[in-house]
Amino acid sequence: MFAVAVAKSYNSPWAGTKMSLGHAVIESRYPADLLRLRRFFQHNAVQIVLSLIGGMVIIWLGINMFRARKEVAQGGKDLNTALSWPGL
């Protein structure tokens, strides 16, 4: 998020502020949701499944960033276009 804020700050001095406020609005509900679901998350099977899925997502994002580095560095493309979700 920091890297995108720095990249976007060249276009607008308010880019970081907008991103922070948007992030805060979206995540303001998470603590209450997690409190309601705490028994569910205490099960070992749930923790293992979430850990595996989270690890796979992080590896997938890292691979995509590694593959997109040439487009970003040489083509002058924005990170948003080089790292887009498949099918979007």
Backbone angles phi, psi at 29, to 5 degrees: -85, -20
For the whole model, what pTM was predicted?
A: 0.48
Q: What pLDDT, in 10s, does the model give residues 32-67?
A: 888 999 999 999 999 999 999 999 999 999 998 888
For residues 16 and 9, is the Cβ–Cβ distance under 8 A?
yes
Quick one: how far is CA 26 from the chain centroid? 13
